[in-house]
Amino acid sequence: MVQYQGEPLISVGILTDKKIKFELYGEYSSYGFKRMFSGRYEAEIIDDMIICKGEDEKIEITNEIIFEPQEPDNESFVIRDVIIGVKFHWERKEKQRFTHSLKLIKDNGKITAINIVPIEKYLMSVISSEMSAKCSMQLLKTTAVVSRSWLLAQIEKSKSIKSEHTNYKSGYQSEDELIKWYDREDHKLFDVCADDHCQRYQGVTNMTSDAVRKAVEQTTGVVLLENDKILDARFSKSCGGITESFENVWEPIKHPSLTSVFDYKFIADDYDDDFSKEENAVKWIKGNPPAFCNTTDPKILNQILLDYDQETKDFYRWKVNFTQAQISDLIKRKSGLDFGQIRDLIPIERGFSSRIIRLKIVGTKKTLTIGKELEIRRTFSETHLYSSAFFVEKFGELDGVPEKFILHGAGWGHGVGLCQIGAAVMAEQGYQFDEIATHYFKNAKLKKIY
């Protein structure tokens, strides 16, 4: 049984760049320096050293430096030009404010800025960044438990990989296939990053809600457990009616509490969920099955879809159009491979939610099967396709080469674990946070571990 003596500290990667501009508001100390630090600084790598230039001082550091506040809850620091929404359609730069410690470390010729912060303070920011503070208390508490579980599971997993000297693999490749999955194990210098790759974290910039603070405090230390281990809990925007199983999106390890569930009180009668048969997948995606996340209620959607997400209106069912020129160019640029003109897109394997796990791309110059779901989503969009649960319509074939493709899809995100929009609907209908959590994470148990 995992048990912590007290609230853990975590390290969050905020920004990696050639130059980092930051401001210390308050009195900050640093090991090895007798004086205190305050004011504006610019850090960059010069001659393999970190050089921090202040208004009237210059600090030279060999590898890393940590600035620690005298009063962590009352003092803060600002980092300028933090990129949010990396590679998404709403990518932009922001000035962000953080509390607790700032670490600067060399990272392959650049500098990485890291915030070292207590986990509960981190969660208050994550929940504020991920959704509106107007969310119901039960949804906020559910999100706190899921986010806390995911974070601590990642830290435990990293410890295990390091202690066992495991050579972690995140894909495989052959002449005919390229199968990759993306997780947070590509972070070596910190526990998690601050963007959607892990969990959206913007320091105290968005921490304005008393409700978020109460939700985190009322669930402090509570996590989901699976076989006495912290569950690697996941969440996405909309499952599309059925959640996906962990092993179909990430490493091929089955988790009893991360298996597929119908996102409703009962199973839809009119559909066959054996999606190994393509006609069943097409019917499911074409249809409008009942589900908690099948809602257009603006009151509920405004809880989940923040300003930069609300450019997306159709998420339960959606479609994307491509001309031949558009899709062949897009696939070439995103995959780095020249398939020529695209003849066909063939689902080879689907998951339990109808998400495609392996997709064969048939071109005039090359044929290759790609996966898993995020690799597919990245290949078919300038940013990220809403999900890999789609079927393909082709139009106007000439010599076996279609002139147009339409992708008809379902859901938004990987679909594993908590469906955020579905959970918001459940909370509005009166479900308690423990009921919501155990609906999406079958066989999991809730336990306070610190």
Q: What angle do CA 423, 427, 433 make, to 5 degrees?
A: 80
User: What strand order describes the sheet that includes 177-180?
Assistant: 171-173, 177-180, 367-371, 356-363, 342-350
- pLDDT tens across the length of the chain (450 residues): 678 889 999 999 999 999 999 999 999 999 999 999 999 999 999 999 999 999 989 999 999 999 999 999 899 999 999 987 766 666 788 899 999 999 999 999 999 999 999 999 999 988 887 777 678 999 999 999 999 999 999 888 888 777 766 666 789 999 999 999 987 556 889 999 888 778 888 888 767 688 899 999 999 999 999 999 999 999 999 999 999 999 999 999 999 999 999 999 988 889 999 999 999 999 999 999 999 999 999 888 888 887 655 566 789 999 999 999 999 999 999 999 999 999 999 999 999 999 999 999 999 999 999 999 999 999 999 888 999 999 999 999 999 999 999 999 999 999 999 999 999 999 999 999 999 999 999 999 999 999
Contact 412, 236 (CB under 8 A): yes
pTM to 2 decimal places: 0.89
User: What strand order describes the sheet that includes 404-410?
Assistant: 317-323, 404-410, 390-395
> Which two structure tokens, joined as six digits, stand for 73?
């809850």
- Residue 343's pLDDT is 98
Amino acid occupying residue 220? T
